[in-house]
């Protein structure tokens, strides 16, 4: 009898052929032996052909164009396991990490996301978002780690059922803080998210060539998320905070234009979260703006400050 597979690894790649091949080789060496699905997100560097030649057993999904984080939704539709582990072309799980994450969710049926520690492979530096999650002020509720209200997809294992209930990643976000909306929707449905320092992903160093456009999307997406889910007072507070950040980064005009271009659609999708989740968000917000807090941990500030 074939063993029941516990999880699937989903890898998202765009024009990172050499790095992706290294990641797939490393994934093949993991003791968990979870099946792998690769989404080639509109690459033009021969990524798909290279993966097909070297890894014929890997399921390869080709998107004709780069659709951002929403490409992960396509891969999840092909996965038939209770858990999905995500990584990007430049990240890879350490041996035993997937087994540990699956064990946590096996033992805690309300845990929808286990977000692990992301460490730079050369410097050993921990992603600032992980430092923030480790210091989350939210109640532990007998959870195995700090309770969080956001996560880093490329270092997370997600319960497939929770992913579907939250609707996956919303395509108009493209990328940049796209997890915040999903996290709020998961929490609204009673799912818990935890951060675990002993579940580790290694990330290869990379230099972004489009940092300004990435920042603009992060700020836009934070404001869009606020108006889709937060009560009015919190939505205005978040908006002003993100616009102040845009002004400091000399992107106020471009961010305002980007936000305004989609507000009609955003407001049509407005569904305010429950008071319990709003209280959690507000507590994180207060923790972020507190003078004694040096690390951002509010849902939409992870990479915008």
Q: Are 123 and 205 in contact (CB under 8 A)?
A: yes
For the ranges 2-6, 47-51, 88-92, 232-236, the lowest mean pLDDT is seen at 2-6
Q: Is the pLDDT of residue 44 over 50?
A: yes
Q: What average pLDDT does range 115-139 have in this prediction?
A: 96
**Residue 290: its pLDDT value, please?**
61
Residue 189 lies in a domain: yes
Domain co-membership, 127 together with 245: no
Average pLDDT of the chain, as a whole number? 93
Indicate the pLDDT class of residue 95, thresholds 50, 70 and 90. very high
Domain co-membership, 183 together with 222: no
Domain co-membership, 150 together with 219: no
* Strand bridging mode 156-159 / 59-63: unpaired
Convert the pLDDT of each residue in 190-219 to its tens digit.
999 999 999 999 999 876 666 889 999 999
Between 299 and 243, the higher pLDDT residue? 243
Q: Is the pLDDT of residue 4 over 70?
A: no
Q: What average pLDDT does range 133-145 have in this prediction?
A: 97
**Residue 247: its pLDDT value, please?**
98
- Mark which of 176, 203, 230 sits at the end of a domain: 203
Distance CA 148, CA 47 (A): 35
Q: CB atoms < 10 A from the CB of 77, how many?
A: 12
Residue 292 lies in a domain: no
Q: Are 150 and 183 in contact (CB under 8 A)?
A: yes
**Residue 294: its pLDDT value, please?**
42
**Residue 305: its pLDDT value, please?**
27
Domain co-membership, 104 together with 215: no
Distance CA 133, CA 119 (A): 14
Q: What average pLDDT does range 70-94 have in this prediction?
A: 97
Residue 282 lies in a domain: no
Domain co-membership, 199 together with 215: no
**Residue 225: its pLDDT value, please?**
98
Beta bridge partners of 9: 36, 85
- Mark which of 142, 168, 203 sits at the end of a domain: 203
Can you give the residue range of the structural domain that contains 76?
Answer: 8-203
**Residue 288: its pLDDT value, please?**
81
Residue 98 lies in a domain: yes
**pTM: predicted TM-score of the whole model, two decimal places:** 0.92
**Residue 206: its pLDDT value, please?**
72
Q: Are 82 and 125 in contact (CB under 8 A)?
A: no
Convert the pLDDT of each residue in 231-272 to its tens digit.
999 999 999 999 999 999 999 999 999 999 999 999 999 999
Residue 188 Cα to chain centre, angstroms: 17
182-203 as b/e: b if 16+ CB within 10 A? bbbbbbbeebbbbbbeebbbbb
Q: Is the pLDDT of residue 1 over 70?
A: no
**Residue closest to 99 by CA, chosen among 198, 24, 175, 23:** 198
**Residue closest to 223 by CA, chosen among 200, 191, 255:** 255
* Strand bridging mode 59-63 / 111-120: unpaired
Convert the pLDDT of each residue in 16-40 to its tens digit.
999 999 999 999 999 999 999 999 9
Residue 14 lies in a domain: yes
Residue 285 lies in a domain: no
φ, ψ (nearest 5 deg) of residue 178: -70, -15
Domain co-membership, 241 together with 92: no
Residue 145 lies in a domain: yes
Q: In percent, how much of the chain has pLDDT > 90? A: 90
Q: How many domains does the chain have?
A: 2
Domain co-membership, 184 together with 246: no
Q: What average pLDDT does range 87-108 have in this prediction?
A: 97
Domain co-membership, 86 together with 194: yes
Domain co-membership, 103 together with 86: yes
- Mark which of 170, 203, 236 sits at the end of a domain: 203
**Residue 209: its pLDDT value, please?**
60
Give the CATH number, domain containing residue 32.
3.90.550.10
Domain co-membership, 118 together with 259: no
Domain co-membership, 199 together with 216: no
Domain co-membership, 157 together with 220: no
**Residue 140: its pLDDT value, please?**
94
**Residue 207: its pLDDT value, please?**
61
For the chain, the distance separating the N- and C-terminal CA atoms, rounded to the nearest angstrom, is 52
Residue 91 lies in a domain: yes
Beta bridge partners of 31: none
Indicate the pLDDT class of residue 301, thresholds 50, 70 and 90. very low
Q: Is the pLDDT of residue 113 over 60?
A: yes
Q: Supply the DSSP symbol for 109.
A: T
DSSP count for the chain of H helices, then E strands: 12, 8
């Amino acid at each position: 009898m074939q063993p029941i597979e516990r999880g699937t690894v989903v890898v998202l790649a765009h024009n990172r052929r050499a790095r992706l091949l290294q990641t797939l080789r490393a994934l093949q060496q993991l003791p968990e032996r979870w099946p792998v699905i690769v989404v080639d997100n509109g690459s033009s560097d021969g990524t798909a052909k290279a993966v097909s030649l070297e890894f014929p057993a890997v399921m390869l999904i080709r998107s004709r164009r780069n659709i951002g984080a929403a490409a992960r939704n396509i891969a999840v539709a092909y996965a038939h396991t209770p858990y999905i582990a995500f990584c990007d072309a430049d990240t890879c799980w350490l041996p035993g990490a997937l087994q540990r994450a699956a064990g946590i969710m096996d033992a805690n049926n309300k845990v929808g996301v286990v977000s692990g520690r992301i460490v730079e492979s050369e410097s050993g530096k921990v992603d600032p978002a992980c430092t923030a999650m480790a210091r989350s002020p939210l109640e532990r509720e007998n959870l195995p780690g700090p309770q969080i209200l956001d996560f880093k997809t490329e270092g997370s294992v997600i319960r497939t059922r929770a992913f579907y209930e939250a609707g996956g990643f919303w395509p108009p976000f493209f990328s940049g803080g796209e997890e915040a909306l999903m996290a709020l929707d998961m929490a609204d449905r009673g799912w818990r998210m935890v951060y675990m320092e002993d579940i580790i992903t290694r990330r290869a160093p990379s230099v972004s060539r489009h940092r300004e456009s990435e920042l603009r999307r992060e700020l836009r997406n934070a404001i869009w998320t606020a108006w889709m889910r937060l009560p009015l007072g919190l939505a205005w507070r978040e908006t002003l905070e993100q616009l102040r950040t845009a002004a400091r980064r000399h992107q106020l005009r471009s961010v305002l234009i980007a936000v305004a271009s989609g507000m009609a659609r955003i407001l049509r999708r407005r569904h305010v979260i429950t008071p319990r989740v709003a209280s959690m968000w507000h507590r994180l917000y207060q923790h972020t703006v507190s003078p004694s807090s040096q690390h951002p941990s509010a849902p939409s500030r992870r990479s915008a400050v």
